[in-house]
A and B are shown apart, each in its own frame.
Chain A
């Protein structure tokens, strides 16, 4: 198993290299970072020229990529525009753990920026994922056991209503209903935006309270897909001979469903979860924006709209690494769930 994991990790290196080149090339065509530095007016011409040079945006594409990858502390930069490169570069490059500094939040290291947002995204997305998985398991298993019952039809109907609605609509609707209108009607209400009430402070209970609506919105649109998936795999497993054998042996129904059926039905579900988990790091772009949740999704959106290449590259590379790692974890989980699977 260890050899397998090491081999997979080594295979990921060229993959990540290719991803970095492709994303870098795409980002270079995403817009002009200096264009939005002028605030509500256009950046002045003299400032455009100076900033391009000072931020290294005047260099050829391959040089900019090289600096991003290996840094420029071995080269000198012409900062004062006298034609002589005399100022040593300060960047160490990604290979030495320096993802650079943000072009928007000037001077702020990319890793620090990501580090500030990642925990916020994790608590939101993990909570949402937990709600989705637990809820879907309950609904999916019930629907499989009580196929075509009234409750099965009812739950399926409700879930598909949620699934068919765009998340921004669900998010805004829930905000207006549970925060604005409930307050107006004198009912207990939820907060609209942010992570806490400034008058109370950032306590765990405040964060939990402010998580309710975003988690609800994310969960509602994901419930249907997961629960239907679980329902169909459970139905397939429940019709297998070994389940019939277990029943005829007189095993308790609970043990049959949760030990024998669910474990075998879990393999395809683990694949889906394994694919979804790394994407959690990217945050929920729309939900975070609407609920002003300071996570990775918003970080990405805010900085991609201002063509902040170092930050966008940092986020994408982080997600790429996460995808690789979670794929390996998924493979390992397969072996744990199904002893027939061996990688050595």
Chain B
């Protein structure tokens, strides 16, 4: 054989081996439970013609969901990633789901604990849950209070590097007096329990042996390849960077799903996601840019807007030491009145959302009576600034006072619509004599902590913009406590506004312990008023989840907290 032939043969072999490797090597097969290996109505795809005498095999119903981010892990304790968290209604379970109005719906529990049924103690410090007695894991093992207890223990175990120990670090003690009862005690009444507890239960019978052997569940195989679940579907395969396939859990204790397989395809590029939806290569997509909505709707893709608590807003550094200009409330009020936020919504978001007047805009109960937003009135803003002594004394086009110029850094992440917003805001504020210098960062740099020299955490950006929510559907949040101001001694502090208001501190502390909604509502009236008067936060646009639904998908219903809570009812057109 000549050298030429050898070379040619080697090249061919290399390509062929690569093809074979790709075709069979990269998937993460589960330890296939029996139901998966031979599902009666989900045969391996018919690539060959069926034998004529056999009855025709019903085609498998496969729904393709396009995810722009891949799950980091599937263990609920190790992820805060939304794209991972919301899949748990498919294959795992929360103790209770939330419906389209964000009201809790009992799932693993027989009823929601309340004062009336004795599940909630009078002092609000003890919660007793009664579990259903017919729930099982996909391998047939009963799901009991021992699994709840194990989940709690794993989340607070210091040997486990879980994503967040909250809210289990608030629990004083937890007991499981019998298989269907879980009793939790708190040092103080814990108002946010409904929205934060039991988002995913761990199978103790799978993970306890791992913990016993390794002293941690950090590296448990189940985290990335959960062979046992308790939802209507079960993970069949997850190929890194490519897809994850969920098939029907034949041992599911609830109604059988109508769709045979949910196929998540990971498509990181927004434009590609839109193209795939337009081409019919996906039945569901999310995180859709508003600018893509018209062409999707034109192609028959339906857009569902679902409130998930998020609002895009501006956070200001309100601290004399860091920014004397921004510390003046008149300046912040003038900023609120100088930015045409409605125009931003109309022009950049095609008028498909609104301007939130309150940080709790998505929770109307805690924004009652609704806060009145600042009007767009640049002339009034100019007058206010003049009156407060902020005038352009040196003729450079920027207002100043006592040698302090109204020049601010305005930073956000690199999301396109945010950068467009920055440009509009810069123009609007320039008209009233306030100059902003625009900064944009990758998320891991923008949100880096104080000791990692994160520009926001260090107080270097006087106007910070991102989308955020409370513990939706609970209104509780912790950013604004004085004790959260970052320092060298406490670099993890979350109060990047360096804003300390003792009255607000007391109100936030109070509401966190108010298990009586009426009393809590009154507290939030006061909080909302301070937020408005002091312009602690300025809403730019309501930021609901946008779902793009292909024309084949039917009987779907979304929730802003647990989007797939009715997944067993979803169907695909024949």
Which residues of A are interface residues toward B (Cβ below 8 A)?
Answer: 30-51, 54-55, 79-81, 87, 101, 104-108, 113, 116-117, 119-120, 122-123, 126-127, 130, 172, 175-176, 179-180, 183, 189, 191-195, 198-204, 207-208, 289-292, 294-295, 298-299, 301-302, 305-307, 336
CB-contact partner of B454 in A35, A105, A195, A305, under 8 A: A35
Q: Which residues of A contact B27 (CB under 8 A)?
A: 202
A47 contacts B62, C-beta separation under 8 Å: no
A119 contacts B18, C-beta separation under 8 Å: yes
B47 contacts A201, C-beta separation under 8 Å: yes
- In whole angstroms, what is the CA distance A172 to B278 when docked? 13
Within 8 A of A (CB), among B314-333: none
Nearest Cβ on chain A to B247's Cβ, whole angstroms:
11
- In whole angstroms, what is the CA distance A67 to B409 when docked? 39
CB-contact partner of B278 in A39, A42, A122, A180, under 8 A: A180
Report the stretch among B50-58, B157-165, B185-193 that lies at the interface.
Answer: B157-165
Q: Which residues of B contact A126 (CB under 8 A)?
A: 14-15, 18
Q: Which residues of B contact A119 (CB under 8 A)?
A: 18, 21-22, 25-26
A202 contacts B23, C-beta separation under 8 Å: yes
Could you list 6 A-B pairs, sorted by A, with CB under 8 Å?
A35-B447, A39-B81, A106-B75, A202-B23, A208-B19, A292-B272
CB-contact partner of A179 in B279, B445, B467, under 8 A: B279
B45 contacts A199, C-beta separation under 8 Å: yes
- In whole angstroms, what is the CA distance A39 to B83 when docked? 9
Most chain B CB within 10 A, of A120, A130, A208, is at A120
The B contact surface, by secondary structure, is loop
B269 contacts A292, C-beta separation under 8 Å: yes
- In whole angstroms, what is the CA distance A35 to B450 when docked? 11
Q: Which residues of A contact B484 (CB under 8 A)?
A: 45
Report the stretch among B126-134, B217-225, B351-359 that lies at the interface.
Answer: B217-225
B158 contacts A80, C-beta separation under 8 Å: yes
Q: Which residues of A contact B279 (CB under 8 A)?
A: 179-180, 183, 189, 191-192
Report the stretch among B33-41, B117-125, B259-267, B362-370 that lies at the interface.
Answer: B259-267
B265 contacts A45, C-beta separation under 8 Å: no
- In whole angstroms, what is the CA distance A101 to B3 when docked? 43
A45 contacts B452, C-beta separation under 8 Å: no
CB-contact partner of A40 in B26, B82, B159, B269, under 8 A: B82
- In whole angstroms, what is the CA distance A81 to B165 when docked? 14
Q: Which residues of B contact A336 (CB under 8 A)?
A: 3
Q: Which residues of A contact B278 (CB under 8 A)?
A: 180
- In whole angstroms, what is the CA distance A204 to B80 when docked? 36
B219 contacts A305, C-beta separation under 8 Å: no
CB-contact partner of A292 in B14, B215, B224, B268, under 8 A: B268
- In whole angstroms, what is the CA distance A166 to B66 when docked? 25
Q: Mark B60-88, 1 if CB is under 8 A from A, else 0.
A: 10101010001011010011111001000
Q: Which residues of B contact A113 (CB under 8 A)?
A: 240
- In whole angstroms, what is the CA distance A193 to B271 when docked? 11
Nearest Cβ on chain A to B248's Cβ, whole angstroms:
15
Assuming the contacts A41-B469, A302-B268, asked whether A295 and B241 have C-beta atoms less than 8 A apart, the reply is yes
Q: Which residues of A contact B3 (CB under 8 A)?
A: 336
Q: Mark B425-466, 1 if CB is under 8 A from A, else 0.
A: 000000000000000001111111100101000000000000
Q: Which residues of A contact B241 (CB under 8 A)?
A: 116-117, 120, 294-295, 298-299, 302
A172 contacts B271, C-beta separation under 8 Å: yes
CB-contact partner of B159 in A79, A122, A191, A198, under 8 A: A79
CB-contact partner of B240 in A32, A37, A54, A116, under 8 A: A116
Q: Which residues of B contact A42 (CB under 8 A)?
A: 447, 468, 494
CB-contact partner of B47 in A32, A108, A116, A200, under 8 A: A200
A294 contacts B242, C-beta separation under 8 Å: yes
- Nearest CB in chain A to that of B452: its residue: A32
B224 contacts A43, C-beta separation under 8 Å: no
Q: Which residues of A contact B467 (CB under 8 A)?
A: 40
- In whole angstroms, what is the CA distance A284 to B560 when docked? 36
- In whole angstroms, what is the CA distance A175 to B478 when docked? 45
Q: Which residues of B contact A203 (CB under 8 A)?
A: 23, 47
Assuming the contacts A172-B271, A292-B268, asked whether A207 and B22 have C-beta atoms less than 8 A apart, the reply is yes
Q: Which residues of A contact B265 (CB under 8 A)?
A: 193-194, 198, 292
